[in-house]
Amino acid sequence: MLKHLYKLIIVTSLMTILSGCLSLGHLNYKQARMLKKQGFTLTEEGWTLRLPEKLLFGFDQSDIQATQKPPLEALSKQLQQYNLNTIKVVGHTDNIGDPAYNQTLSEKRAASVSQIFIETGFKTQNIQSLGRGASQPLVENNSEENRALNRRVNIIIIP
Protein backbone atom coordinates (compact mmCIF):
# COMPACT_ATOMS: atom_id res chain seq x y z
CA MET A 1 0.00 0.00 0.00
CA LEU A 2 2.79 2.44 0.92
CA LYS A 3 4.68 1.52 -2.24
CA HIS A 4 1.56 2.21 -4.36
CA LEU A 5 1.05 5.60 -2.65
CA TYR A 6 4.71 6.48 -3.26
CA LYS A 7 4.35 5.73 -7.00
CA LEU A 8 1.16 7.79 -7.18
CA ILE A 9 2.90 10.78 -5.59
CA ILE A 10 5.83 10.50 -8.02
CA VAL A 11 3.56 10.26 -11.08
CA THR A 12 1.41 13.18 -9.91
CA SER A 13 4.48 15.32 -9.26
CA LEU A 14 5.93 14.56 -12.69
CA MET A 15 2.64 15.37 -14.40
CA THR A 16 2.49 18.70 -12.59
CA ILE A 17 6.07 19.58 -13.54
CA LEU A 18 5.58 18.58 -17.17
CA SER A 19 2.34 20.50 -17.51
CA GLY A 20 4.25 23.64 -16.50
CA CYS A 21 6.74 22.98 -19.29
CA LEU A 22 3.95 22.70 -21.83
CA SER A 23 2.37 26.02 -20.90
CA LEU A 24 0.74 27.83 -23.79
CA GLY A 25 0.42 31.09 -21.88
CA HIS A 26 -3.37 30.85 -21.26
CA LEU A 27 -4.14 30.09 -24.91
CA ASN A 28 -5.53 27.00 -26.53
CA TYR A 29 -3.41 24.82 -28.78
CA LYS A 30 -4.75 26.26 -32.07
CA GLN A 31 -4.15 29.83 -30.93
CA ALA A 32 -0.60 29.07 -29.79
CA ARG A 33 0.17 27.19 -33.01
CA MET A 34 -1.03 30.12 -35.13
CA LEU A 35 0.99 32.60 -33.09
CA LYS A 36 4.14 30.51 -33.45
CA LYS A 37 3.54 30.27 -37.19
CA GLN A 38 3.32 34.08 -37.35
CA GLY A 39 6.61 34.46 -35.46
CA PHE A 40 5.30 35.17 -31.95
CA THR A 41 7.34 33.86 -29.02
CA LEU A 42 6.29 33.40 -25.42
CA THR A 43 8.13 35.99 -23.31
CA GLU A 44 7.74 37.24 -19.74
CA GLU A 45 5.26 39.83 -21.10
CA GLY A 46 3.20 37.26 -23.00
CA TRP A 47 3.06 36.12 -26.63
CA THR A 48 5.19 38.75 -28.35
CA LEU A 49 5.82 39.51 -32.00
CA ARG A 50 8.91 41.62 -32.50
CA LEU A 51 8.50 43.42 -35.76
CA PRO A 52 11.95 44.81 -36.57
CA GLU A 53 12.39 42.58 -39.59
CA LYS A 54 8.83 43.16 -40.75
CA LEU A 55 8.15 46.71 -39.64
CA LEU A 56 11.02 49.12 -39.35
CA PHE A 57 10.63 52.84 -39.10
CA GLY A 58 12.94 55.32 -40.74
CA PHE A 59 14.88 57.76 -38.61
CA ASP A 60 12.45 60.21 -36.97
CA GLN A 61 9.46 58.49 -38.65
CA SER A 62 6.25 57.09 -37.20
CA ASP A 63 4.13 56.52 -40.30
CA ILE A 64 3.51 53.04 -41.68
CA GLN A 65 4.73 52.72 -45.26
CA ALA A 66 2.15 51.57 -47.80
CA THR A 67 4.00 48.30 -48.41
CA GLN A 68 3.92 47.44 -44.71
CA LYS A 69 0.21 47.97 -44.21
CA PRO A 70 -1.20 44.79 -45.90
CA PRO A 71 0.79 42.34 -43.71
CA LEU A 72 -0.39 44.17 -40.57
CA GLU A 73 -3.99 44.09 -41.80
CA ALA A 74 -3.69 40.35 -42.46
CA LEU A 75 -2.21 39.76 -39.01
CA SER A 76 -5.01 41.76 -37.41
CA LYS A 77 -7.66 39.72 -39.20
CA GLN A 78 -5.98 36.44 -38.32
CA LEU A 79 -5.74 37.35 -34.63
CA GLN A 80 -9.45 38.16 -34.64
CA GLN A 81 -10.25 34.91 -36.44
CA TYR A 82 -8.60 33.05 -33.53
CA ASN A 83 -10.41 35.18 -30.93
CA LEU A 84 -7.23 36.97 -29.90
CA ASN A 85 -8.90 40.35 -29.63
CA THR A 86 -6.85 42.12 -26.96
CA ILE A 87 -3.32 43.32 -27.66
CA LYS A 88 -0.63 45.63 -26.43
CA VAL A 89 1.30 47.59 -29.07
CA VAL A 90 4.66 48.87 -27.85
CA GLY A 91 6.74 51.37 -29.81
CA HIS A 92 10.52 51.74 -29.50
CA THR A 93 13.22 54.10 -30.79
CA ASP A 94 16.97 54.17 -31.09
CA ASN A 95 19.01 56.30 -28.68
CA ILE A 96 19.66 59.28 -30.96
CA GLY A 97 18.04 62.47 -29.74
CA ASP A 98 16.35 63.78 -26.64
CA PRO A 99 14.80 61.07 -24.41
CA ALA A 100 11.50 62.98 -24.11
CA TYR A 101 11.27 63.31 -27.90
CA ASN A 102 12.06 59.61 -28.34
CA GLN A 103 9.34 58.74 -25.86
CA THR A 104 6.78 60.70 -27.86
CA LEU A 105 8.04 59.20 -31.14
CA SER A 106 7.75 55.66 -29.76
CA GLU A 107 4.16 56.39 -28.70
CA LYS A 108 3.37 57.66 -32.21
CA ARG A 109 4.82 54.48 -33.72
CA ALA A 110 2.63 52.35 -31.49
CA ALA A 111 -0.38 54.50 -32.35
CA SER A 112 0.27 54.06 -36.10
CA VAL A 113 0.19 50.28 -35.78
CA SER A 114 -2.78 50.40 -33.39
CA GLN A 115 -4.74 52.43 -35.93
CA ILE A 116 -4.35 49.69 -38.55
CA PHE A 117 -5.71 47.14 -36.08
CA ILE A 118 -8.66 49.41 -35.30
CA GLU A 119 -9.37 49.91 -39.01
CA THR A 120 -9.48 46.13 -39.48
CA GLY A 121 -11.96 45.46 -36.68
CA PHE A 122 -10.21 45.63 -33.31
CA LYS A 123 -12.12 47.60 -30.69
CA THR A 124 -10.24 50.64 -29.42
CA GLN A 125 -10.70 49.52 -25.81
CA ASN A 126 -8.98 46.20 -26.63
CA ILE A 127 -5.72 47.84 -27.71
CA GLN A 128 -3.21 49.13 -25.22
CA SER A 129 -0.83 51.44 -27.08
CA LEU A 130 2.34 52.67 -25.42
CA GLY A 131 5.88 53.76 -26.10
CA ARG A 132 9.09 52.91 -24.32
CA GLY A 133 11.42 55.33 -26.08
CA ALA A 134 14.99 54.05 -26.20
CA SER A 135 14.74 52.26 -22.84
CA GLN A 136 14.54 48.71 -24.23
CA PRO A 137 16.86 48.32 -27.20
CA LEU A 138 16.73 45.02 -29.06
CA VAL A 139 20.45 45.35 -29.85
CA GLU A 140 23.16 47.81 -28.86
CA ASN A 141 22.85 51.23 -30.47
CA ASN A 142 26.47 51.13 -31.64
CA SER A 143 25.94 51.29 -35.42
CA GLU A 144 23.40 52.62 -37.91
CA GLU A 145 22.28 49.06 -38.69
CA ASN A 146 21.64 48.32 -35.02
CA ARG A 147 19.89 51.64 -34.42
CA ALA A 148 17.57 50.80 -37.35
CA LEU A 149 16.67 47.49 -35.66
CA ASN A 150 15.71 49.36 -32.50
CA ARG A 151 13.20 51.57 -34.36
CA ARG A 152 10.41 49.04 -34.08
CA VAL A 153 7.05 48.02 -32.66
CA ASN A 154 6.22 44.88 -30.68
CA ILE A 155 2.76 43.35 -30.55
CA ILE A 156 1.89 41.45 -27.38
CA ILE A 157 -1.18 39.24 -27.03
CA ILE A 158 -3.20 39.80 -23.87
CA PRO A 159 -5.19 36.59 -23.21
Residue 70 counted as domain residue: yes
Residue 141 counted as domain residue: yes
Element (H, E) at 89: strand 87-91
Average pLDDT of the segment spanning 22-33: 79
Contact between residue 52 and residue 152 where contact means Cβ atoms under 8 Å apart: yes
Asked whether the whole model's pTM tops 0.75, one would answer yes
Q: Is the pLDDT of residue 6 over 90?
A: no
Q: What is the CATH number of the domain that holds 54?
A: 3.30.1330.60
Residue 17 counted as domain residue: no
Q: Is the pLDDT of residue 31 over 60?
A: yes
d(CA 159, CA 156): 10
Q: Helices 99-119 and 69-81, interaxial angle, to 10°?
A: 60
Q: Is the pLDDT of residue 99 over 70?
A: yes
d(CA 72, CA 128): 16
Residue 9 counted as domain residue: no
pLDDT tens per residue, range 42-88: 988 899 988 755 567 888 999 998 888 999 999 999 999 999 999 99
pLDDT band at 21 (very low <50, low <70, confident <90, very high): very low
> Which residues are paired to 49 by β-bridges?
155
pLDDT tens per residue, range 128-154: 999 999 999 999 999 999 999 999 999
Domain extent for 136: 25-157
d(CA 121, CA 7): 52
DSSP-derived secondary structure letter, 64:
P
Residue 116 counted as domain residue: yes
Contact between residue 131 and residue 109 where contact means Cβ atoms under 8 Å apart: yes
Residue 107 counted as domain residue: yes
Residue 6 counted as domain residue: no
- Considering its fold, how many domains does the chain have in total? 1
Residue 57 counted as domain residue: yes
Contact between residue 49 and residue 36 where contact means Cβ atoms under 8 Å apart: no
